[in-house]
Structure 1
Amino acid sequence: MDNMAFLLTTLVSFGITALLGIVMIPYLHRLKFGQTILDIGPAWHKKKQGTPTMGGIMFIIGVTIAVVTGYATLAATNPELLADIRNNLRLFAGMAMALAFAAIGFLDDYIKVVRKRNMGLTARQKYLMQLVVGVFYLTMLYLSGDVSTEITIPFFGQLKLGLLYYVLAMIIITGFANAVNLTDGIDGLASSVTFVYALTFLIIAGILRFAQTGLMACALAGGCLGFLVWNFYPAKVFMGDTGSLFFGGLVVALAFDVGVPLLLVFAGVIYWCEAFSVILQVISFKTTGRRIFKMSPIHHHFEMSGWSEIKIVTVFSIVTLAGGLLSVLAVLQM
């Protein structure tokens, strides 16, 4: 793979995202696109009321431009890349899915900021839209030649699922997109965890020689770092559902691009822990009237237990790193 193209992709994504903060954050302030903080959340979060949201637009622009720039640079030195229809289609289908999820998030955020309430789209509305996007993405994978209905179980082998593969794929796509959304709850958490996740798939892409996947991973990593310039504690801007669902789309796309979506079990350990903490909390409260956690998603449990936001971000990133190492080992033994 062309290292210069990947370095350029990372730098473009980082640079555009970080520089856009100089312009966009004051602009979002003027529009009064501020975050509404839930009354049921930690009391100290109230001081974040009014912090600009929808800042995810910054890295959406940065990542998208970086992928196009990186692809053009790589194709210029490797003309055979243009003939790689299968992986090209997977790359741009993944970007299209992430942008479509971002559009759903933007609509949700817009409703929130215009009506000045924390609830935007209903869960049903959001999920139905995500199902449509998921069907589009799987159709693009099918057209790219990915017609196998086998799924690789890391460290074990392949399992034939038949048509159930597509059911499982839809659950993974929508489930993890929403899980990434849930991870965006404290300053810098989603960006930091996703940065480590992107590095994991950059390594995996290098091992498998998937240039297009490597470009996407570099762009995502650069966008995360660029956003952390403004989003690390104390955050000057939040990504909103616009950004977190875009991240979710790219997180899913990277796993499907390398042909092993179940790597999300390891590399995406924080995402699914966040989601399951919410599910378990709801089930427990509705069936027994008791809560398992002090508050869900689970990062709020640790926050209510006295952990600082920086400590939570650090520990969760280290856990993601451990999961990433397991993912790399799983790929090496395939």
Structure 2
Amino acid sequence: MRLILIAAAVSLLLSMVGTPLAIRIFARRGYGQNIREEGPSGHYDKKGTPTMGGTVIVIASLCGYFTAHLVSMVSFDSDPPTASGLLVLFLMTGLAVVGFIDDFIKIYKQRSLGLRSGAKALGQLIVGAVFAALVIRFPNAYALTPAETRLSFLRDFGPSIGIIGFTLWVLFFIVGFSNAVNLTDGLDGLATGATCLVLAAYVLIGNWQLRNSCTSVGFGPNCYWVRDPLDLAVVAAAVLGACLGFLWWNAPPAKIFMGDTGSLALGGVIAGLAFTTRTQLLLVILGGLFAIITMSVIIQVGFFKLTGRRVFRMAPLQHHFELSGWAETTIVVRFWLIAALCVAAGLVLFYVEWMPK
């Protein structure tokens, strides 16, 4: 628990202090947001707001995680970083690099589109493929690897889908959730707040799996075969602290945007946590808001191609309500409530499944 608290506190402090510094640096260099002409007219006032704030989230998260482990090792508690934690952080950082390139091109060329969709997807696939190749390696003393080549909901289930099938599943999941958070990042604080709720759930899940790990409580029917549950909770806490500190400045009216640097990174970290905690399909419930917003885009595009008509005034879904006259803060708070309900439903399922039969 001390590791979790140190990681969260350090990343929160660094993010709170570092974000206004980043705002001044980015504003001085002209790293401002460009607004799509076809977007809601109310967004034009946001043009020039500093972007690429996701760099602060990533740096603060990494500092919080490694500081917590450094303090632990200095105090002789012997809690070094683990393969599971490092791989999730690698996934977050790798996708942040892809997002940073995308953001920088937007700024450099002064347009609302950065990397071409193919180049952006290729970057996500490369990072995801490396993660998929490494996450089934590094067995510990109990022959547990950070992830298994099986599907999981609340635990692993069913037969192995093979290395190729697992790699494709990882790529689909990582690209899907990193883009889902990216689509959600359309209003001030919306994606940051929703991600905070999912990360808080993973702090609880990792801590619960630690307390009920098969390697610590014995091989009972309800124990969890997870390689490094404590370190995964530390990762989630570090990123949660960084997001909370950033949200202070990103809440409406936002002083800075996370950009693709942040949204791709956050989508990657929650996808990585899902694989390493064996809760891949549970993430669809925990991150229900991201799934709903992504589905709104799929429905809008599919229906328009079939009929030439639109289901929503504009997609993603949050912009439909903007054009319907809802205030931005109203949409953000209500969507946070939806995200909270999804997280609550996911945690209830997680606990009910564990309860002794």
1:16 to 14, 20, 23: 14
Residue 183 of structure 2 corresponds to: 182
Residue 107 of structure 1 corresponds to: 101
User: d(CA) in 2 for partners of 1:279 and 1:254?
Assistant: 25
Give per-residue Cα distances to partners, 1:213-243, cap 9 Å, x unaligned: 1111111111111111111000111111111
User: d(CA) in 2 for partners of 1:75 and 1:166?
Assistant: 34
User: d(CA) in 1 for partners of 2:256 and 2:52?
Assistant: 8
Residue 33 of structure 1 corresponds to: 31
User: d(CA) in 1 for partners of 2:327 and 2:255?
Assistant: 17
Contiguous gaps of at least 5 residues in structure 1: none
Residue 298 of structure 2 corresponds to: 279
SS of the residue corresponding to residue 168 of structure 2 reads helix
Q: CA deviation at 1:77?
A: 5.2
Whether the aligned pair in 1 keeps the contact of 2:31 and 2:48 (CA below 8 Å) is yes
Residue 171 of structure 2 corresponds to: 170
Residue 54 of structure 1 corresponds to: 52
Whether the aligned pair in 2 keeps the contact of 1:90 and 1:140 (CA below 8 Å) is no
Query: Which of 309-318 and 274-283 deviates more?
Result: 309-318
Whether the aligned pair in 2 keeps the contact of 1:188 and 1:232 (CA below 8 Å) is yes
User: d(CA) in 1 for partners of 2:169 and 2:177?
Assistant: 12
User: d(CA) in 2 for partners of 1:172 and 1:323?
Assistant: 18
User: d(CA) in 1 for partners of 2:88 and 2:253?
Assistant: 32
Q: CA deviation at 1:5?
A: 2.4
Whether the aligned pair in 1 keeps the contact of 2:184 and 2:191 (CA below 8 Å) is yes
User: d(CA) in 2 for partners of 1:229 and 1:174?
Assistant: 28
Contiguous gaps of at least 5 residues in structure 2: 140-144, 211-228
Residue 159 of structure 1 corresponds to: 158
User: d(CA) in 2 for partners of 1:216 and 1:243?
Assistant: 16
Q: 1:219 to 1:148 in 2, by over 3 A?
A: closer
Structure number with higher helix proportion: 1
Query: Which of 112-121 and 274-283 deviates more?
Result: 274-283
Q: 1:112 to 1:161 in 2, by over 3 A?
A: same
Structure 1 length as normaliser, TM-score? 0.93
Give per-residue Cα distances to partners, 1:173-230, cap 9 Å, x unaligned: 1111111111111100011001111111111111101110111111111111111111
Give per-residue Cα distances to partners, 1:70-101, cap 9 Å, x unaligned: 2223445574534xxxx811110110111110
User: d(CA) in 1 for partners of 2:324 and 2:151?
Assistant: 39
1:298 to 313, 317, 326: 317
Do structure 1's residue 129 and structure 2's residue 142 form an aligned pair? Answer: no
Work out the percentage of aligned pairs sharing the same amino acid: 34
User: d(CA) in 2 for partners of 1:7 and 1:79?
Assistant: 15
Give per-residue Cα distances to partners, 1:77-128, cap 9 Å, x unaligned: 574534xxxx811110110111110000010011000100011111111111
Residue 149 of structure 2 corresponds to: 149
User: d(CA) in 1 for partners of 2:131 and 2:321?
Assistant: 36
Whether the aligned pair in 2 keeps the contact of 1:29 and 1:52 (CA below 8 Å) is yes
SS of the residue corresponding to residue 151 of structure 2 reads strand
1:318 to 290, 314, 337: 337
User: d(CA) in 2 for partners of 1:35 and 1:46?
Assistant: 10
SS of the residue corresponding to residue 252 of structure 1 reads helix
Residue 73 of structure 1 corresponds to: 71
Aligned residues: 327
Q: 1:12 to 1:81 in 2, by over 3 A?
A: closer
Letter matched to residue 325 of structure 1:
A
Residue 254 of structure 1 corresponds to: 273
User: d(CA) in 2 for partners of 1:98 and 1:32?
Assistant: 26
1:64 to 62, 65, 68: 62
Whether the aligned pair in 2 keeps the contact of 1:10 and 1:222 (CA below 8 Å) is yes
1:118 to 108, 112, 115: 112
Do structure 1's residue 199 and structure 2's residue 194 form an aligned pair? Answer: no
Whether the aligned pair in 2 keeps the contact of 1:71 and 1:215 (CA below 8 Å) is no
